[in-house]
């Protein structure tokens, strides 16, 4: 097969340097070093420098690409050729064949997995000593625990969230497959949600776990989710900000320096546009024609007070989120599909980015929805390593 290496190969390597450092695994790095040694692009001293003087995988990759591109176009062309032969998928992702960033082929549709793809032992071992990644020993992964709260039936019957049973089942299946023991609650008041979080913050597994997930699905408004006794004249609400108080270092020291992942499916406001039914606080906006399109909207030691969090919300501030009355919410469907398909190789922020990407083409009637990351304070990358 003819290799289509760009004329200015050294510049091409410079253009893809950051992504190569992020994506190249240790096996590929070792293979490229050996190939370039045979080609006399690298000498024995340079080989040992790359392998022995750099402790982390990322530093080895950075040293390799910098050393080669500094040798000019001919050396860079040889590295690109070996990269194409050794890892065609990464080669294509970097866009090196055309000299431009790779563009997805419009006729190719992503196939979403319905079950979780297992990560490989080699991938997990490759990440073990990377200081930019949260530690994930197998013993800590076996102590994972998650809190799942789903409000379906409300005191005011017309606020009942049809299709939310599907969301609850999908999320419980996903969390279990990721290795989390699921503490599940259904149909809670705002006070009961607070109590459930307080109890969860004292769970005995938190001392040994590597991470926790908190998933809350209900009606909502900006800054709060609604309890099942909510009425316009007597608001029953739980403030989202209280999650951070319950899981913070003062009340829950067991989770210090551990990722705390929060996922919320609920409206964050009224937004605009024509919609059948809305999971918001204003009951007057609930319509009777939900069958039309089958969609509804859902609405002494000093430590950092708020660190190692990432929140993923179903919509942007002041807007609504949607729920199918049979299949559940697109947000929860997308989260499950993306994590099933990519959690074996992508970190949490990349997974959430892929979910947001799916919303780019989500339009219902006159309205759109966009999931959003919020209050992200993860100084490192977190991987689920499913199946280990």
Q: Which of 282, 312, 280, 272 is nearest to 296 (CA)?
A: 280
Radius of gyration for the alpha carbons in the chain, expressed in angstroms and rounded: 24
Rounded Cα distance between 328 and 342, Å, is 21
Contact residues for 265 (Cβ-Cβ < 8 A; gap 6+): 167, 215, 216, 217, 218, 298, 314, 321, 323, 329, 331, 332
Cβ atoms 35, 82 nearer than 8 A: yes
Angle at 99 between CA 76 and CA 1, to 5 degrees: 75
Q: How many CB atoms lie within 10 A of CB 216?
A: 24
In the chain, DSSP finds a helix count (H) and a strand count (E) of: 14, 13
Q: How many CB atoms lie within 10 A of CB 57?
A: 22
Q: Is 48 helix (H, G, I), strand (E, B) or coil?
A: helix
Contact residues for 9 (Cβ-Cβ < 8 A; gap 6+): 73, 74, 76, 77, 79, 80
Rounded Cα distance between 125 and 144, Å, is 19
Of 246, 267, 324, 344, the active-site residue reads 267
Going 224 to 226 to 231 to 236, the CA torsion angle's sign is negative
Known active-site residue 185: no
Find tokens 């919509």 and name the residue. Answer: 315
Rounded Cα distance between 254 and 56, Å, is 28
Find tokens 């406001």 and name the residue. Answer: 269
Of 82, 219, 324, 344, the active-site residue reads 219
CA-based end-to-end distance of the chain: 38
Known active-site residue 219: yes
Active site members: 219, 267
């Amino acid at each position: 097969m003819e290799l289509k290496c760009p004329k200015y190969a050294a510049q091409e390597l410079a253009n893809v340097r950051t992504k190569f450092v992020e994506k190249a695994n240790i096996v590929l790095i070792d293979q490229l070093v050996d190939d370039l040694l045979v080609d006399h692009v690298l000498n024995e001293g340079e080989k040992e420098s790359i392998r022995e003087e750099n402790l982390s995988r990322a530093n080895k990759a950075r040293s390799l690409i910098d050393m080669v591109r500094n040798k000019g176009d001919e050396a860079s062309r040889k590295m690109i050729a070996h990269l194409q032969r050794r890892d065609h998928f990464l080669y294509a992702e970097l866009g090196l064949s055309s000299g431009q960033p790779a563009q997805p082929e419009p006729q190719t549709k992503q196939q979403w997995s319905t079950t979780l793809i297992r990560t490989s032992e080699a991938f997990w071992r490759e990440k073990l000593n990377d200081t930019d990644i949260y530690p994930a020993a197998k013993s800590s992964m076996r102590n994972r625990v998650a809190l799942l709260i789903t409000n379906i039936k409300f005191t005011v019957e017309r606020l009942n969230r049809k299709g939310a049973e599907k969301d609850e089942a999908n999320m419980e299946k996903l969390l279990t497959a990721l290795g989390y023991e699921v503490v599940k609650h259904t149909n809670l008041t705002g006070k009961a949600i607070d109590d459930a979080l307080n109890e969860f913050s004292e769970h005995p597994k938190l001392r040994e776990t590597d991470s926790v997930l908190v998933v809350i699905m209900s009606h909502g408004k900006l800054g709060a989710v609604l309890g099942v006794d909510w009425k316009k004249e007597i608001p029953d609400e739980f403030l989202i900000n209280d999650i951070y108080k319950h899981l913070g270092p003062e009340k829950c020291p067991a989770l210090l320096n551990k990722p705390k992942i929060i996922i919320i499916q609920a409206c964050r406001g009224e937004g605009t546009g024509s919609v059948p039914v809305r999971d918001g606080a204003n009951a007057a906006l609930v319509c009777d024609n939900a069958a039309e399109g089958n969609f509804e909207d859902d609405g002494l030691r000093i430590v950092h007070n708020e660190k190692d969090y990432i929140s993923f919300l179903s919509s942007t501030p002041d807007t609504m989120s949607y729920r199918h009355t049979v299949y559940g919410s697109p947000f929860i469907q997308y989260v499950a599909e993306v994590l099933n398909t990519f959690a074996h190789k992508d970190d949490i922020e990349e997974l959430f980015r892929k979910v947001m990407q799916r919303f780019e083409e989500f339009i219902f009637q006159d309205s759109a929805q966009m999931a959003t990351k919020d209050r992200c304070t993860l100084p490192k990358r977190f991987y689920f390593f499913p199946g280990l």
